Amino acid sequence: MKLYLYNSLTRSKVEFKAVQPGQVGLYTCGPTVYNFAHIGNLRTYIFEDILRRVLLYNGYRVKHVMNITDVGHLTGDRDMGEDKMERRALREGRTAWEIAEFYTQAFKNDIKNLNILPPDIWVKATDTIDEQIALIKTLEEKGYTYRTSDGVYFDTSKFKDYTKLSHQKLESLQEGARVEKNPEKRNPTDFALWKFSPHGVQRQMEWDSSWGVGFPGWHLECSVMSMKFLGDQLDIHCGGTDHIDVHHTNEIAQSEAATGRPFFKWWMHGAFLIIAGGKKMAKSEGNFLTLDHAFVKAGIHPLVYRFAAFQTHYRKPMEYSDESVQAARNGLSHLQNQIRQIAGAGADPQNNISAEHKNKFLEAVNDDLNMPRAMAAVQELLKSNINDGQKYTTILDFDRVLGLDLDNLAQHEDLPSEVQKLVDARQKARDAREWEASDRLRDEIQALGYMVQDTPEGMKVIKT
Ligand code: AMP
Ligand code: ZN
């Protein structure tokens, strides 16, 4: 069956064709690890995970690369302001490297909790500094760069088609870029390739280069890593819609200027998670929730959030509220109950997936990842009159895309509140190294029919 995807570059939904038959190179812009990811960020990673799973479901081999931004992302998107990492390090009294390590682990934990498949290749910006310097040199040799007192910049006026992804008039992009003034820039949309460490300041993360000691501009890492790890498989590049005007536009400009060849063929963008009143969830707005706080610690299974994300198409803003979480909680638990009722029949011994239902499901996900429609196809399957064994086999097949752990329901029940309270108290006791209290609480939890396991990722609670 044909797979249709919306390409932001052409602003159209067209049949997907891989550059090399049967395999897809996928690049997804990763987190800046100066803070926890918020559930808005995680919505984008869920959308990208669905994309990856749908490609796999369609029989493609996928090579997936994700960067970890651990240097160079400034508080202003236009190369102004402070480095987010260094600022956080000062505030927390830890080194920038420690900050990066801590929030990288937190991010990996979040995506694990959401059943997001980890990329095949993780790359840290700080591990590709040499390649980033080499790319700037190429651009310099080709005449695309100029120096100012604070860095080396890309001259966007030299790159034809600078607005091909944003589809904006150059003047309106420039207008937006003028907000943060840098009088030395030749054009407001020009962006830093290399920034010098400020005079008299020794940054924690800085490197020598032929232009002076400093650090790479934020957009550079994604160009370098895409080309380094995906080579001739530059199929799909993703991020949130906020990346269209600046980050991805600049990635395209510097990559195509350097190689003289088209960069990625497909650009896909996830819409925002918004909260009451239509405001986007953002760290800069101070209105953000983390998965840990809003779900794990609140005793709501994190897969509820994954399920919630399926209710809105990825190109539409998703509204987040207590009511939407409650609805998703009910929806997931209803689905789990439906599956429990048929699971007894076991997977069909002949592995007999219902072709009719699979077709409907595939049609939905292949229509630009239409998850609301796919969820309707799930209900149609469960309410159909095919036998339970076949239903169960078919739903487990769908779960390759859904990623809701439908074959493993026992682990994913919400804990009753009395158990959750004891679990929280035990966590506190352990944090305070009060082992006796911790053991006593474990016994109390056990008496309520739950087993506690202490694993490197934290405490696991399993129904016995
Ligand atoms: P950052 O760590 O800020 O680079 O963002 C990580 C990813 O989350 C990027 O792909 C952003 O485009 C995306 N993003 C940021 N805010 C939101 C939001 N409110 N809803 C959905 N995605 C977002
Ligand atoms: Zn990127």
Q: Report pLDDT digits (tens) over 227-237.
A: 999 998 999 99
β-sheet bridge partners, residue 12:
7
Name the nearest CA neighbour of 194 among 307, 72, 279: 72
User: Is the pLDDT confidence value at 93 over 80?
Assistant: yes
User: Is the pLDDT confidence value at 399 over 90?
Assistant: yes
The per-residue DSSP string of 250-317 comes to HHHHHHHHHHSS---SEEEEEPPEEETTTEEP-TTTT----HIIIIITTT--THHHHHHHTTS-TTS-
User: Is the pLDDT confidence value at 119 over 70?
Assistant: yes
Q: 273: Cβ below 6 Å to ligand 1? A: yes
Distance in angstroms (rounded) separating the CA atoms of residues 418 and 65: 42
Ligand nearest to the CA of 316: 1
pLDDT for res 180: 66
51-55, 281-285, 439-443: segment of lowest average pLDDT: 281-285
> Which protein residue has the closest C-alpha to ligand 1 atom 15?
41
Q: 41: Cβ below 6 Å to ligand 1? A: yes
Q: 272: Cβ below 6 Å to ligand 1? A: yes
Higher pLDDT, 166 or 94: 166
24-33, 44-53, 230-239, 424-433: segment of lowest average pLDDT: 424-433
> Which protein residue has the closest C-alpha to ligand 1 atom 14?
41
Which atom, in ligand 1's list, is nearest to the CA of 274?
19
pLDDT for res 464: 66
Q: Which of 212-216, 308-312, 340-344, 426-430: highest mean pLDDT?
A: 308-312
User: Is the pLDDT confidence value at 346 over 80?
Assistant: no
Q: 63: Cβ below 6 Å to ligand 1? A: no
Q: 47: Cβ below 6 Å to ligand 1? A: no
CB-count burial class (<10 Å; 0-12, 13-18, 19+) for 300: buried
As a whole number, the mean pLDDT across the chain is 91
Q: Is there a contact between 38 and 289 (Cβ–Cβ < 8 Å)? A: yes
Q: 275: Cβ below 6 Å to ligand 1? A: no
Ligand nearest to the CA of 278: 1
Q: 43: Cβ below 6 Å to ligand 1? A: yes
Could you tell me the distance, in angstroms and rounded to a whole number, from the CA of residue 369 to the centre of ligand 1?
19
pLDDT for res 181: 73
Q: 240: Cβ below 6 Å to ligand 1? A: yes
Could you tell me the distance, in angstroms and rounded to a whole number, from the CA of residue 44 to the centre of ligand 1?
6
Ligand nearest to the CA of 221: 2
pLDDT for res 373: 98
Q: 32: Cβ below 6 Å to ligand 1? A: yes
Q: 30: Cβ below 6 Å to ligand 1? A: no
Which atom, in ligand 1's list, is nearest to the CA of 33?
2
Distance in angstroms (rounded) separating the CA atoms of residues 112 and 231: 28
Q: 282: Cβ below 6 Å to ligand 1? A: yes
Distance in angstroms (rounded) separating the CA atoms of residues 301 and 296: 6
User: 35, 44, 88, 219: which to mutate for ligand 1, most atoms within 8 A of CB?
Assistant: 44
> Dihedral through CA 47, CA 52, CA 58, CA 60, nearest 10?
160
C-alpha dihedral sign at 456, 427, 462, 118: negative
pLDDT for res 77: 66
Whole-model pTM: value is 0.88
User: Is the pLDDT confidence value at 457 over 60?
Assistant: no
Instruction: Read off the tokens for 7.
Output: 């390409």
Residues 154-163 pLDDT 10s: 999 999 999 9
Ligand nearest to the CA of 289: 1
Distance in angstroms (rounded) separating the CA atoms of residues 371 and 362: 10
- Mean pLDDT across 288-303: 92
What confidence tier does 239 reach under pLDDT thresholds 50, 70, 90?
very high
Residues 166-216 pLDDT 10s: 998 888 788 777 766 788 999 999 999 999 988 887 778 899 999 999 999
Ligand nearest to the CA of 33: 1
